[in-house]
Amino acid sequence: MKETVGKACVVVAALLSLVMAGSAGFAAETIKVGVLLPLTGSMAKFGEIEKRSFDMAVEEINAKGGVNGKKIELLFEDDTGKPDVGRSGIEKLISREKVPVITGGYASSVVAAAAPVAQQFKVPFVICTGATDDVTEKGYDYVFRVNPTASEYPNAVKSFLHEVATDVKTVALLYENTAFGQSSSKSFEKDAADLGLKIVVKEGYQAGAIDFKPVLTKVKAANPDMIYMVSYIMDASLLMRQSKELHINPKMFVGGGAGFTLPEFAKSAGDAADGVYSATLWVDTLPFPGAKEYSANFKKKYGSETEYHGAEAYAAMYVVADALKRAKSITPKDVRDALTKTDMKTAFGPVKFISYGKKTQQNKLDTYMVQWQKGELEGVWPKSAATKKYIYPTPHWDKRK
């Protein structure tokens, strides 16, 4: 009996050894990539659309042979939209998971906290969304950014004001008191000065406010030609609903990207979303390779629309995979060296990390303007990217059909 039990134990031990060996072999055949995103909390909608885009990109890459025959394995860390959590998350990916590269990075405040950690430990961090300008102005050689900076978001809005909305002379500027909001508002102030626009109201607010009517009452009294807002999804929706309730009627409502381009904005704001413009970094009608396919496949796979945040994440994953394929070895330094030589076309646009102004390892791209028309987000500017003609000026609330 003892002999039988002993033999059984030997067999079990042997099987366990085989399983462990197999697991180790599988692990050796995968390349781990860290991804930092807000998967819970107030920014979870953005995290969801970006996570889905990362997952979709990796499925496609792995189906085509992965990285030189090895599959990519994504390790997601939920930063909850908070800088301290993001810092801990990137430390975990580097110290515990030993990833050779990290991507993601949605909220500017989180990116500002996480980037120095990546630089300190010398692990490349490929940012896909966090836009505060100074992240790529610190001379970091392990930090790269795929998306344009906050100061570049309004470029298409500026050209629209210069060429079409030439009768806009006064502006109300509303922004949330976050790194992204403050950076965006400062850059727009400069743009307004360059265009000869007078800012008649400038108000920062705490994100997640439950009532904007005190602020909007000031705006109504000032009667600006344009209202420019830098807000995430729930604030953006409430601002528009309450603007309608107060019958505020500028020539233009303009969002500075962020919450104004998500499908949930139109659902939450209802008909108050109609006519609202927004700066954006991407529309799927742009002549970029795979842009239309990405958009169509996302909708087919997840049953919902994507937009520029998703496209950023999708492209960032392809940029990381491209660098991994070209790297001399799968080590942080060699992956970093490969990233510096990136020069590729993606569904989000061309990606090449360059230095200009104070910025280093920053991708430079054009920006665009969209407008909500009858529940659909249409590209309206520049004309080369337009899917529909812009509606300007925005009709008064009581004259809309």
Radius of gyration of the chain from Cα atoms? 24
Average pLDDT, the chain: 91
Question: Which residue did the predictor score with more confidence, 24 or 192?
Answer: 192
| Residues whose CB falls within 8 Å of the CB of residue 393, separated by 6 or more in sequence, listed in order | 165, 251, 252
pLDDT grade, residue 232 (50/70/90)?
A: confident
Question: Which residue did the predictor score with more confidence, 7 or 255?
Answer: 255
Confidence at residue 278, expressed as pLDDT on a 0 to 100 scale: 95
Cβ contact 346:319 at 8 Å: yes
Alpha-carbon dihedral angle through residues 324, 325, 328, 329, given to the nearest 10 degrees: 50
Q: For domain 152-280+368-399, give the fold.
A: Rossmann fold (3.40.50)
The angle formed by the CA atoms of residues 171, 176 and 182, to the nearest 5 degrees, is 80
Question: Which residue did the predictor score with more confidence, 19 or 82?
Answer: 82
Confidence at residue 245, expressed as pLDDT on a 0 to 100 scale: 97
Confidence at residue 204, expressed as pLDDT on a 0 to 100 scale: 94
Q: Where are the domains of the chain?
A: 30-148+286-362, 152-280+368-399
Whether 142 has a pLDDT exceeding 60, the answer reads: yes
Cβ contact 227:253 at 8 Å: yes
Q: For 303-393, where are the alpha helices, taking DSSP H only?
A: 308-326, 332-340
Whether 291 has a pLDDT exceeding 50, the answer reads: yes
Question: Letter for the amino acid at 28?
Answer: A
Tell me the CATH number of domain 30-148+286-362, given options 3.30.70.260, 3.20.20.70, 3.40.50.2300, 3.40.50.920.
Answer: 3.40.50.2300
Confidence at residue 180, expressed as pLDDT on a 0 to 100 scale: 81
Whether 12 has a pLDDT exceeding 90, the answer reads: no
Confidence at residue 187, expressed as pLDDT on a 0 to 100 scale: 86
pLDDT grade, residue 52 (50/70/90)?
A: very high
Whether 399 has a pLDDT exceeding 90, the answer reads: no
Tell me the helices (H) and strands (E) count for the chain, helix number first: 12, 16
Confidence at residue 208, expressed as pLDDT on a 0 to 100 scale: 85
Q: Is the dihedral of CA 341, 343, 347, 349 positive or negative?
A: positive
pLDDT grade, residue 22 (50/70/90)?
A: very low
pLDDT grade, residue 4 (50/70/90)?
A: very low
**CB-CB neighbours of 110 under 10 Å:** 29
Beta-strand ranges (E) seen in 44-128 are: 71-78, 102-104, 125-127
Mean pLDDT, rounded, for 122-141: 96
Enter the pTM of the model. Answer: 0.86
pLDDT grade, residue 390 (50/70/90)?
A: very high
pLDDT grade, residue 10 (50/70/90)?
A: very low
Cβ contact 322:68 at 8 Å: no
Say yes or no: do domains 30-148+286-362 and 152-280+368-399 share a fold. yes
**CB-CB neighbours of 199 under 10 Å:** 17
pLDDT grade, residue 257 (50/70/90)?
A: confident
Whether 21 has a pLDDT exceeding 70, the answer reads: no
